[in-house]
Amino acid sequence: MSELGLRFLGVGNAQAQDLGSSAAVFETAEQPLLLIDCGPMTLAAYRGIYCDEPSSLFITHAHLDHIGGLEGLFYRLATAEAPRAPVTLFVPVALITVLQRRLADYPSLLAEGGSNFWDVFQLIPVSEGFWHHGLYFSVFPVRHHEHLTAFGLALEGVFVFTGDTRPIPEVLNRYARRGEWVFHDCGLVSNPSHCSVDELRAEYSAEQCQRMVLYHYESEQTGEQIERAGWRIARRGERFSLAPCMPKIRPRAELARVRRLPDAVGW
């Protein structure tokens, strides 16, 4: 299997515009496989690295700093000179109604009419997980404001991406028990939706903390403070090379029916 990686397009919270909207891209052989979240500044960062629009996205929750770029993506695709394939959009079932109300219900999205928000997307509702390019990604609820309003993503044996969350040790005990990288929401100070470094120490084992990379912090200065306290942080544009793994793969008969990656990806 080609080298796997996770590249951060942004690492800031909703107020930290200098750090970019928190979003990451799961890669194989440095080619994009899955974009995680799409905030207001995400698409520009994505195009700056990959010179194209994303072909597939997973949405962790519906706060605008994580979905604000979807409207811009709709307009770019709906008004493109040449038709493009719909963008695959993996959305936890509990979030679909929220996305419909926040983005898709607006009347006459195009002045000329004749276009629905979902026309440019292939919506794939997900509950406990989904297949993508032969890999099975697990989806799990996290603690962020209300129950079942935010979700994390895991690839067994490779990584866990928490999305915005309070401490979730019971979830990591289930989805990060094989030495996975843990990309965890964290700021310097806790609040009802996010956790602090002090809470990480209190809630997680030392072994789990050693595997964590922290993002979604308040400012560059805060990131430096967190780093000086002994934690590893993600920085805007940084790519983490993920250790070789043995994720769950579809049986050969099923793989024959799955759209394969381009040869340039080297899978």
User: pLDDT tens-digit profile of 25-76?
Assistant: 999 999 999 999 999 999 999 999 999 999 999 999 999 999 999 999 999 9
Is 163 a domain residue? yes
Q: What is the pTM of this model?
A: 0.89
**65 occurs within a structural domain:** yes
Residue 222 covered by a domain:
yes
Is the pLDDT higher at 154 or at 82?
154
Strand partners, 56: 88
Q: Are 163 and 150 in contact (CB under 8 A)?
A: yes
Instruction: Identify whether 224 is part of a domain.
Output: yes
The yes-or-no verdict on residue 250 having pLDDT over 80 is: no
- The angle that helices 42-50 and 69-78 make with each other, rounded to 10 degrees, is 60
219 in a structural domain: yes
Contact 86, 45 (CB under 8 A): no
Q: Which two tokens stand for residue 110?
A: 């195009």
Mean pLDDT for the stretch of residues 78-101: 95
CA distances to 42, 138, 213 from 238, rounded to whole Å, are: 14, 24, 11
**CA neighbours within 13 Å on the CB side: how many for 84?**
21
Whole-number pLDDT of residue 12: 95
pLDDT at 264 over 80: no
- Locate all alpha helices (DSSP H) within the chain, ordered by sequence: 42-50, 64-67, 69-78, 93-99, 169-175, 197-203, 206-210, 220-228, 252-255
Number of domain units in the chain:
1
- AA identity, residue 178: R
pLDDT at residue 150, rounded to an integer? 97
Which residue in 74, 60, 84, 59 sits closest to 106, CA to CA? 74
- With respect to residue 199, please indicate whether it lies within any of the assigned structural domains: yes
Let me know if residue 124 belongs to a domain. yes
Q: Is residue 191 part of a domain?
A: yes
Tokens of 42: 């995400």
Residue 267: closest CA among 76, 27, 55: 27
How, if at all, do strands 151-155 and 159-161 pair?
antiparallel
Residue 231 belongs to domain with CATH number:
3.60.15.10
Q: Residue 182 sits in which domain range? A: 4-106+116-245
Sheet with 159-161, side-by-side order of all strands: 129-132, 135-141, 151-155, 159-161, 181-185, 212-215
Q: What does the pLDDT read at residue 257?
A: 42
| 35 three-state secondary structure | strand
User: How high is the pLDDT of residue 243?
Assistant: 72
Does 247 have pLDDT greater than 90? no
Percent of the chain with pLDDT over 70: 90
